């Protein structure tokens, strides 16, 4: 699986200083699901990607590729 998404997600998480639990709560998913996004074991559904982009204030393109 492509690591761009998980790398970008880790970068944004560290920049914002939030926990997996906070992100999971915002998304309405389990902490384990969020952890799987960070480790690159799974990609979230499209609607969850949109929520993540909104949460971090970035575009979906940036979130998925790491490129503006």
pLDDT for the residue 1: 47
- How many whole angstroms from its chain centre is CA 14? 11
Residues 6 or more apart in contact with residue 57 via CB below 8 angstroms: none
pLDDT for the residue 66: 84
Alpha helices in the chain (DSSP H): 4-16, 20-27, 31-39, 46-56, 60-65
Burial class (CB in 10 A: 0-12, 13-18, 19+), 35: middle
- Whole-model pTM: value is 0.88
- Return per-residue pLDDT of the chain as tens, 68 residues: 457 899 999 999 999 999 999 999 999 999 999 999 999 899 899 999 999 999 999 999 999 888 87
């Amino acid at each position: 699986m492509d690591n761009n998404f998980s790398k970008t997600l880790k970068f944004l998480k560290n920049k914002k200083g939030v926990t997996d639990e906070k992100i999971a709560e915002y998304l309405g998913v389990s902490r384990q699901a969020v952890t799987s996004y960070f480790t690159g074991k799974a990609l979230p559904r499209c609607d969850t990607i949109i929520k993540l982009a909104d949460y971090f204030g970035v575009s979906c393109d940036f979130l998925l590729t790491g490129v503006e």
